[in-house]
Amino acid sequence: MKVTSNRSALTLIVLAQFLGTSLWFAGNAVVPELSQLLEDNSLLAPITSAVQFGFISGTFFYALFSIPDRFSPIKVFLTSAILASASNLMIIFLPLKIEFILVCRFFVGVFLAGIYPVGMKIAADYFEKGLGTALGYLVGALVLGTAFPHLIQGLDLQLSWKIIFICTSVLAIIGGLLIYLFVSDGPFRKKNQKFEISLIPKLSRITSLKSAASGYFGHMWELYTFWAFVPIFISFLYGEEFPQNQVSFLSFLIIAIGGVSCVFGGILSTKFGSKNIALFALLGSCVCCLLAFFVPSFPSFFWIIFLLAWGILVTADSPQFSTLVSHSVPAKYKGTALTLVNCLGFALSIVSIQVGQYLLNWIPVNQMLALLGIGPLIGLFLFKLFQKPNLLT
């Protein structure tokens, strides 16, 4: 039986999104055990990057062929969830070699392109008004999923890597079935009837889309690099004697609180508007970047509060920029625009992480994180530059 109310649909979409994206960081949660089994302590970066590169490849493919707009996003979500789960499970059945793990995790990322941005597309088809609130819940679920591996490590849970892969695969399939069985295509969905090879260049001429995407790119330059180096930053501030499980638990709190801020930012967007919430959060996180220069001189209780505040601001703009992206294009192009912007944003995040890693050879982590403020500053400038509305017809 399909749900009929927007609220019920949103609840199911958020739940399915959370279950589906649990695949994303399953590899991170089992890195310690895999490192022991493979006798390799450098697995975290390649396993994480494999999923990210897969997601970039997948979103480009889905956007190029306008898959979320040409086909039912409900069926795309289910099919992608099944294929991502199968890719995840293959790690258990193949010989335990890093090459096989990386290939499987790459394809997990490819098919996550049919879960995360397509989930936002389904929500956009249900909400013409209040989309900022709806996407706040959706992105909040993804943020909690991002923080989950740190919680597992912080609680020092001794779970088998095979159990984690099996459980996350089953959860993702359940998420796909929840969407397929109980959610119908939204009332505001407009199907794009044909494949348009020139669609991406066509979308690139929409100034309002370029404005929203610019803000999102500035946000993405900062976000994943901040998340990636939070544990290193905590260890730098506390000193080497701080227990690793406590570093992981504090990292969980700093990242997970961003999920809460996505939700509250979405609620506030109904009163203040998505644009204002997004720009406030982007400017706020930019200020946090600059303050990172001075953090080593702060007392411990203050820098913990500071990092929690940074965790709040660094994510609150994400669903609101996605809302602006959705509103910047005609309904029949929403799925393609959201997927394409995700693709470019995640590609930018990989560049940012690599630049950050390189800079650590020359400067301490607090100064490297401070330099992340360049991204939000450019994002704010370009957002204003391209702000004039210009919808395609």
Residues near 151 by Cβ (< 8 Å), separated by ≥ 6? Answer: 248, 249, 252, 256
pLDDT tens-digit map of 237-279: 887 667 777 877 888 899 889 989 999 888 988 888 888 999 9
pLDDT for residue 391 is more than 50: no
Better pLDDT: 193 or 36: 36
Burial 44-55 (b: 16+ CB within 10 A, else e): beebbbbbbbbb
> What confidence score (pLDDT) does residue 393 get?
36
pLDDT tens-digit map of 349-375: 888 888 887 888 889 988 999 999 999
Q: What's the rounded Cα separation, in Å, for the pair 3 and 48? A: 36
In CATH, what number does 6-185+203-385 get? 1.20.1250.20
Q: Cβ–Cβ contacts within 10 Å for residue 198, how many?
A: 7
Angle, in degrees to the nearest 10, between helices 116-126 and 6-21: 180
> What confidence score (pLDDT) does residue 135 get?
81
pLDDT for residue 202 is more than 50: yes
Tokens 């940074």 belong to which residue? 310
The domains of the chain are located at 6-185+203-385
Residue 66 — left, alpha, or beta (φ > 0 → left; ψ -120 to 50 → alpha)? Answer: left
Q: Predicted confidence band at 388 (pLDDT cuts at 50, 70, 90)?
A: low
State the chain's mean pLDDT as an integer: 84
pLDDT for residue 154 is more than 70: no
Q: What is the pTM of this model?
A: 0.84
pLDDT tens-digit map of 297-347: 777 778 889 999 999 999 998 889 888 888 878 777 777 788 888 888 888
Q: Predicted confidence band at 194 (pLDDT cuts at 50, 70, 90)?
A: low
Residues near 302 by Cβ (< 8 Å), separated by ≥ 6? Answer: none
> What confidence score (pLDDT) does residue 392 get?
43
What would the mean pLDDT of 211-236 be, rounded to a whole number? 87
CA dihedral 59, 63, 65, 69 (to 10 degrees): 120
Q: Is 393 exposed, middle or buried (0-12, 13-18, 19+ CB in 10 A)?
A: exposed
Structure tokens at 64: 């190029």
Q: Predicted confidence band at 26 (pLDDT cuts at 50, 70, 90)?
A: confident
> What confidence score (pLDDT) does residue 390 get?
46
3-state SS string over the chain? CCCCCHHHHHHHHHHHHHHHHCCCCHHHHCHHHHHHHHCCCCCHHHHHHHHHHHHHHHHHHHHHCCHHHHCCHHHHHHHHHHHHHHHHHHHHHCCCCHHHHHHHHHHHHHHHCCCHHHHHHHHHHHCCCCHHHHHHHHHHHHHHHHHHHHHHHHCCCCCCHHHHHHHHHHHHHHHHHHHHHHCCCCCCCCCCCCCCCCHHHHHCCCHHHHHHHHHHHHHHHHHHHHHHHHHHHHHHHHCCCCCHHHHHHHHHHHHHHHHHHHHHHHHHHHHHCHHHHHHHHHHHHHHHHHHHHHHHHCCHHHHHHHHHHHHHHHHHCHHHHHHHHHHCCCHHHHHHHHHHHHHHHHHHHHHHHHHHHHHCCCCCHHHHHHHHHHHHHHHHHHHHHCCCCCCCC
